[in-house]
Structure 1
Amino acid sequence: MDNHHSGPVETGASMDYSEHEKTYNMFIAGAKWGTMVTAVLLIAMAAGFFGGVGFLGSLIVFIVLNIAGVFLLR
């Protein structure tokens, strides 16, 4: 038997490009905001552990840097 295909295996429905764009934009936004929050969390933890500012000081650093990140990443 000859099982070689010369064309696409499946020729299903056409792609929904608007839905693809929405998914891509949501992924990029999630990656951007998630990276920002993770970096801010690491900076706040370093300030709390090594900077000697304690829990409340690192919480303030976390909040202030998140607010700055929101304005910078818009």
Structure 2
Amino acid sequence: VFKGWEQVSPGTMTQLQFDQNVGDLVNYLAWMGEPAQNTRTRIGVWVLLFMLGFTVIAWRLNAAYWKDVK
């Protein structure tokens, strides 16, 4: 049964430096896991704006069409 790691020699970094370096490494690995996320987010904003504009246009066209029917 694995009980843990044994420290062979003390590290050269302080606890704060170690935490910052591990945070940088985790962020880098998350970015490497999906480098297209920034592009997807940027395109997603434009898609939502398009959908909002299309909804307004469709709503106004629907009102103009049914104005004479009612």
TM-score by length of 1: 0.46
- State the structure with bigger RCO (CA 8 A, min sep 6), 1 or 2: 1
Could you say which structure has the larger radius of gyration?
2
TM-score by length of 2: 0.48
